[in-house]
Amino acid sequence: MKIHIKNGRVIDPASNTDRVQDVFVAGSKVVALGDAPGNFLANRVIDATGLVVCPGLVDISARLREPGYEYRATLVSEMSAAVAGGVTSLACPPDTDPVLDEPGLVEMLKYRAKTMNKARVFPRGALTVGLKGEHITEMAELTEAGCVAFSQADTPIVNTEVLHHALQYAATFGFPVWLQPRDAFVGRKGVAHDGEVATRLGLTPIPVTSETIALATILQLARDTGARVHIARISSGAGLNMVRDARAHGLSVTCDVSINHLHLCDTDIGYFNPHCHLMPPLRSQSDREALRQGLADGSIDVLCSDHTPVDDDGKQVPFDEAEPGATGLELLLPLTLKWGSEMGLPLAKTLSRITADAARVLGVDHGRLVVGAAADLCLFDPEAWSRVSRENLLSQGKNTPFLGLELPGKVRYTLVDGNVVFEAKPNT
Amino acid sequence: MRNPQLNGHGELQHLLTIEGLPRDILLSILDTAAPFTEVAEREVKKIPLLRGKSVFNLFFENSTRTRTTFEIAAKRLSADVINLNINTSSTAKGESLLDTVDNLAAMHADMFVVRHASSGAPFLIAEHLARTGRDHIHVVNAGDGRHAHPTQGLLDMYTVRHYKKDFSNLVVAVVGDVLHSRVARSEIHALTTLGVPEVRVIAPKTLLPTEVERLGVRVFHDLKEGLKGVDVVMMLRLQNERMQGALLPSRQEYFKEFGLTQEKLDLAKPDAIVLHPGPMNRGVEIDSAVADGGRAVILPQVTFGIAVRMAVMSMLAGH
């Protein structure tokens, strides 16, 4: 299959490319930019006039809910949502049921995902068996089965000695470890940021110290063990400053933030909106501003969807009983564009946080649009706005605090390995 | 976003919280309550304002006193009252809150009086009724989590006005476990809305929520200091489980530092009154000598509570 993508605005953040030119795809690769290679006879020509042509998006954290939580979402529904959102590579956390702590489960997930011919799936394996924080997993075996990193999802390890050993063992092989900074005790029963909003609404609070205490431990152990640590879902300005300081002192840690925390804060809870029950919690307005700035200046490497589909029954309950999380695969691009334009950033820099930077942090060879690279592409109309609605979301999870919002950026085509895996219906 | 307790004309549709309600609505509830205090003294303690209406007391959390006062209030208004203690019935069988509400709505309920352990549960019910086109059913919050207990806040205001006449020159202290208290939150919002110039909270740091001063209160950690010159003392109940979880060392030490004794009360104004929402823990937050003494208005609070609840119910659903 040969595809000629005509007249699009080609943006490749990694090479700082931003110009209108043609892209030529043959087989699974990008074979030329600008002029057609000799003897190129396209089977298909895509007119990309007015569209941005960029590397397929890399979402470093999206829950697919399989195995175990098929009532919330299935691989079929979520992989369709991914490519509809322009996401061609995604990494999923190990908090399925059963937990991804055995090579067979990881192989099965990879196999099932591959047969769908949609986005690439990169599982993170469990750092400890059953995420219980007691025994470390067979990390080498799990890596062989396809895990790209190890994590505890959002379950903290209580025993710091176990965490220390887990990091030492991972460092032995150079395996990356992803940790969400959350103290096992402080704010354990909490459901909202410890501030004026939680005080007014009478919601059990989660103090910022839950994040900073855990970060202090993680950063200290990362320094001590030399493990490759990624800090997942930073939520506070204080936490971000700790990561900045650690980096300034030579520690090579990376970190990410979710689309929710980049755009919302605790006041958005309003009258107990259960869609704003998220983990970590939405923090204060000043925290949000710090995160937006941190992502712009590179202190935060990556923006992710933290896609967490929840069924209606999980949200149609009082705030504190609601399942935390929000759907996000299809909102990653629009909310990234919204942030970038509000911050006055060039489009290439904006997109870098969900392409090149995301691939770098994930340690995968994607997120670039250059000759010879796999033809994972996202073609989107930056001027088209659409309303977030239950009907428009392909994800089985319709749970998002952004319902009803008009957002920029409509994906028109998504290619993975040179195949068109998503094509928007005309006039949508 | 419109305040979910008000209808399109700005009138009270549900009573969910005092926060955000205009002063004139609070005052009109207190004014409406005044004549109802006399109903109890009649030979036939009934007026027909809610005749033919069905009031469902939906109590997802145990309460005898609040449920009883709502029941009496509804019955004095001639309503049919159905009491459901749901922690022992359907949710234990796995029925969701909104399924329960749908079932009872199908029985042609006119009003739900809701108590729930989760903050915001009555908002969820009101929103669900609105979304499903049944917002003719009124919701009264009878206490949700730590969030609000608006009828308690209102009856406390009725009591304060009864004894002090005017809100605009008072110093009021709210004493005790503000952190876990829906009563405290409702009292604070009511006092600040009604124009009380100085509202104090007095508690150890472990029993105060973060940024409580943003609610418009002065914070004291010393009971003696905080009581100086006070017109009204509003005591809060301290639940026994607060002794666990490292919030407090012991009942004895709490009583010594934060329990209201006659000696400490003497630091307040000579005509200061003492309120308590009940049930009291004598010897923990309040000394018996104060609870039974001449300054306590704790039993009148209970009597006024029925009139205030009659006022709320009749304003929401009355003929």
β-bridge mates for residue A122, sequence order = A91
Do B310 and B298 reside in the same domain of the chain?
A: no
Residue A224's SS3 state is helix
How many CB atoms neighbour CB A266 within 10 A?
23
**Residue in the structure block whose two tokens are 């600040």:** B192
How far is A203 from chain B, CA to nearest CA, in Å?
A: 6
pLDDT at A287 over 80: yes
pLDDT at A427 over 90: no
- Asked if the Cβ–Cβ distance from A198 to B209 is below 8 Å, we say yes
Do B136 and B59 reside in the same domain of the chain?
A: yes
Six-digit token string for A377: 């592409």
Q: How far apart are CA A96 and CA A101, in angstroms?
A: 10
Do B108 and B161 reside in the same domain of the chain?
A: no
Domain presence at residue B137: yes
pTM: 0.95
Residue A200, phi then psi, degrees to nearest 5: -65, -45
Do B276 and B295 reside in the same domain of the chain?
A: yes
CB B153 within 8 A of CB B105: no
Q: How far apart are CA B165 and CA A418, in angstroms?
A: 80
Q: How far apart are CA A276 and CA A268, in angstroms?
A: 7
Strand blocks (E) in A51-116: 52-55, 57-59, 87-92
Domain presence at residue B124: yes
Do B82 and B128 reside in the same domain of the chain?
A: yes
- Burial of A47 by CB count in 10 Å (0-12 exposed, 13-18 middle, 19+ buried)? exposed
Domain presence at residue B12: no
A154 is catalytic: no
Q: Does B119 touch chain A (CB under 8 A)?
A: yes
CB A93 within 8 A of CB A127: no
**Residue in the structure block whose two tokens are 């470890």:** A177
Residue A149, phi then psi, degrees to nearest 5: -170, 175
Domain presence at residue B7: no
Residue A10's SS3 state is strand
What are A314-334's pLDDT values in tens digits? 999 999 999 999 999 999 999
Q: How far apart are CA A28 and CA A17, in angstroms?
A: 21
Q: What is the dihedral of CA A282, A288, A293, A299, to 10 degrees?
A: -30
CB A228 within 8 A of CB A207: no
How many CB atoms neighbour CB A261 within 10 A?
25
ipTM for this model: 0.95
Nearest CA in chain A to B183: A202
| Cis-peptide into A98, omega within 30 deg | yes
How far is B75 from chain A, CA to nearest CA, in Å?
A: 30
Q: Does A312 touch chain B (CB under 8 A)?
A: no
Q: Does A316 touch chain B (CB under 8 A)?
A: yes
What pLDDT shows up at residue B45?
Answer: 84
Domain presence at residue B11: no
Domain presence at residue B177: yes
Average pLDDT, chain A: 97
CB A256 within 8 A of CB A302: yes
What pLDDT shows up at residue B39?
Answer: 84
As a whole number, mean pLDDT of residues A32-44 equals: 95
What pLDDT shows up at residue A251?
Answer: 97
Mean pLDDT in consecutive groups of 10 residues from the start of chain B, 319 residues:
87 96 97 92 89 96 90 97 78 78 94 96 96 94 97 98 97 97 98 98 97 98 98 94 84 96 98 96 96 97 97 93
Its domain, for residue B63, covers: 23-149+305-317
Do B233 and B119 reside in the same domain of the chain?
A: no
CA B147 and chain centroid, separation: 10
Q: CATH number for the domain including B195? A: 3.40.50.1370
Hey, what domains does chain A have and what are their CATH numbers?
56-362 (3.20.20.140)
What pLDDT shows up at residue B89?
Answer: 55
- Asked if the Cβ–Cβ distance from B1 to A271 is below 8 Å, we say yes
How many CB atoms neighbour CB A191 within 10 A?
25
Describe the strand order of the beta sheet including B138-144 as a list of residue ranges. B80-85, B54-59, B111-116, B138-144
As a whole number, mean pLDDT of residues A160-187 equals: 98
Do B191 and B243 reside in the same domain of the chain?
A: yes
Do B116 and B160 reside in the same domain of the chain?
A: no
Q: What is the dihedral of CA A357, A363, A367, A370, to 10 degrees?
A: 110
Strand blocks (E) in A202-297: 205-206, 228-231, 254-258
Q: How far apart are CA B35 and CA A414, in angstroms?
A: 71
Window 91-110 of B: residues touching A by CB (8 A cutoff) are 96-98
Do B111 and B156 reside in the same domain of the chain?
A: no
% of chain A residues with pLDDT over 70: 100
Q: Choose from B98, B210, B236 for mutation: most chain A CBs within 10 A.
A: B210
How far CA B27 is from CA of A55, A315, A360, B70, B167, in Å, comes to 63, 36, 63, 20, 11
As a whole number, mean pLDDT of residues A174-191 equals: 97
Do B66 and B206 reside in the same domain of the chain?
A: no
Nearest CA in chain B to A322: B118
Query: DSSP characters for B148-174?
Result: B-HHHHHHHHHHHHHHHS-STT-EEEE
What pLDDT shows up at residue B87?
Answer: 72
Residue A80, phi then psi, degrees to nearest 5: -65, -40
Q: How far apart are CA A352 and CA A13, in angstroms?
A: 5
What pLDDT shows up at residue B1?
Answer: 67
Do B157 and B261 reside in the same domain of the chain?
A: yes
Q: Does A242 touch chain B (CB under 8 A)?
A: no
As a whole number, mean pLDDT of residues A40-65 equals: 97
What pLDDT shows up at residue B42?
Answer: 85
- Asked if the Cβ–Cβ distance from B116 to A318 is below 8 Å, we say yes
Domain presence at residue B17: no
Do B114 and B157 reside in the same domain of the chain?
A: no
- Domains contained in chain B, number: 2
Query: DSSP characters for A179-207?
Result: E----SSTTTT--EETTHHHHHHTPPEE-
